[in-house]
Amino acid sequence: MCRLCNPKAPQVPCPTRRDVLKASAVGAAATLTGLGASQAQAASHAQAAVPQGTGEPGRRVLIKGGTVLSMDNTVGNYATGDVLVEGSRIVEIGANIDAGDAAVIDASGKIVMPGFIDTHHHQFETALRSQLANGILINDGRPANEQNYYDTILQKFSMVYRPEDVYINELFGGIAQLDAGVTTVMDVSQIHHSPEHSDAAIEGLRDAGRRGVFGYFEGWGDRAQYPADARRIKEQYFSSDDQLLTMVMGGEIYLPGWEAAWEIGRDLDLPIALHVVGTFGMRDTFDQLARDGMFGPDNIFIHMTGMSDLAWQAAADAGSHVSLAVPIEMHMRHGLPPIQKCLDLGISTSLSTDVECTMTADFFTQMRGLITLQRMWVNEAALLGAEDYPALMQCIDAIRHATMGGAEGLGLADKVGSLTPGKEADIILLDAEAINVAPLNNAPGAVVTLMERTNVDTVMVAGRIAKWQGKLLGFDVPRLRSELEASRDYLFEAAGIERDLFA
């Protein structure tokens, strides 16, 4: 019985699509074909060593002897420490825990820390990875802007998506981030052309097996039911708080009818997320919302570039959250990432990957983009002789934005974001003995300045092991990749766009 069909697991109903895509024992064995005998034996041994039943009620697992980076000041950090998990939750953290008959995971040489939390990722675009590598956000009338996100991705590619395209893009994008240690995502799925498209997006999120926040944003066409279908979606899929998936309402103020989306979202007690970008000409509308007292702690403002001091202060006063996608904001002409503005105003801030059609969705890139840009501005001020300038961001600060910051923004701070007894066990083990990191001298520094996705050794979501010793579990990745490639081929043909590998 698969984990999604386990009647004890706090999940939404069983999938309708994954059955034909799920990895089988034959598929798993096939992945060993072509390896040398010793490699195959080692891989087989590692697979056999996976603790069984993780995440199930009463199952105890002791993560032992790692460098524990808790992200909780009340818990502290341990140069060598243990984390005890029972079922889906963390029950104890300490220097040397006696856990009796618990299964033991040897974490020596590993950094043990909370999983990364991505507060803004357009997963339906996974098949379009790198297609817009040289593009910018919109055609603003300046030269060489014909290939831009709004016209190319949203108004051409997205228009031809079928529900099956939505599903495989969502699923593959989800497991790819899970492999990179991102245990929670807010999926900004601007693909709600019909109720079937919405259902497919939710199924893809669910079947990836990680914590997901379904962002119900816009769609186009005669069958689009946004925003009214939010009521049906919430009742059908999100009626319980005891599951991995939750919901956020999209409320883009640059689109007609946004007022209804905000009203429905607040009536359903959902957070309201929106892109706030100066180049979209929304500054005046945003200022008016600020004057009208429309901001609240339920708002997630994505990018927040080019906004007035009035709007910034209103967002800070209201306890709103800001999600930054620093590499994308620099690359695609969103405007200067407002890192220092968030810090100066004390606004809760998280990191997000945005669009893989332009930039990678791993969180090491996000943390490095954040910290290097902030330090560049501060260092330049110092070099120019300024007497008063902000403090340099520290590596531990970047990690906080990548973990607890995201949990705060998504309303999940009581569940995830830190290694805290009582919280859900969303935990990653990062290889600190790998050739690009060893020897370990500073744990936060190693995570932020040295590591990348290959250092993600083991991933746990709600106590369940999803990646073990470098291998993603439960998915036939080659088969899923072929499904994604088939979707890619259809999308290019249907959109009438040539796939040029050297454009």
- pLDDT tens digits for 172-218? 999 999 999 999 999 999 999 999 999 999 999 999 999 999 999 99
**Is 401's pLDDT higher than 70?**
yes
Residue 116 near residue 402 (C-beta atoms within 8 A)? yes
In the chain, what percentage of residues exceed pLDDT 70? 90
pLDDT category, 435, cuts 50, 70, 90?
Answer: very high
Q: Answer whether residue 28 shows pLDDT above 60.
A: no
**What is the mean predicted confidence (pLDDT) over 424-433?**
98
Q: What percent of the chain has pLDDT over 90?
A: 86
Burial of 151 (0-12, 13-18, 19+ CB in 10 A): middle
**Predicted confidence band at 18 (pLDDT cuts at 50, 70, 90)?**
low
Choose between 498 and 29: higher pLDDT.
498
- Which has more pLDDT, 5 or 256? 256
Residue 352, CA distances (Å) to 306, 341, 367 in order: 18, 17, 10
Dist. CA 287–CA 282, nearest whole Å: 9
At the top level of CATH, the class of 116-409 is alpha beta
What's the confidence (pLDDT) of residue 269? 97
Alpha-helical regions (H) of 126-186: 163-179
Task: Return the pLDDT at 146.
Answer: 73
Instruction: Choose the weakest-confidence range: 9-13, 239-243, 387-391.
Output: 9-13
Q: What is the DSSP string of 80-104?
A: EEEEEEETTEEEEEESS---TT-EE
Give the CATH number of domain 3-112+422-479.
2.30.40.10
- pLDDT band with cut points at 50, 70 and 90 for residue 487: very high
- pLDDT of the residue at 14: 47
The answer to whether residue 25 scores a pLDDT higher than 80 is: no
- Work out the average pLDDT over 410-428: 98
Per-domain residue ranges of the chain: 3-112+422-479, 116-409
Answer yes or no: is pLDDT of 336 > 60: yes
Neighbours of 92 (CB within 10 A): 13
Q: How far apart are the first and last CA of the chain?
A: 46
Which phi and psi (to 5°) does residue 117 adopt? Answer: -125, 115
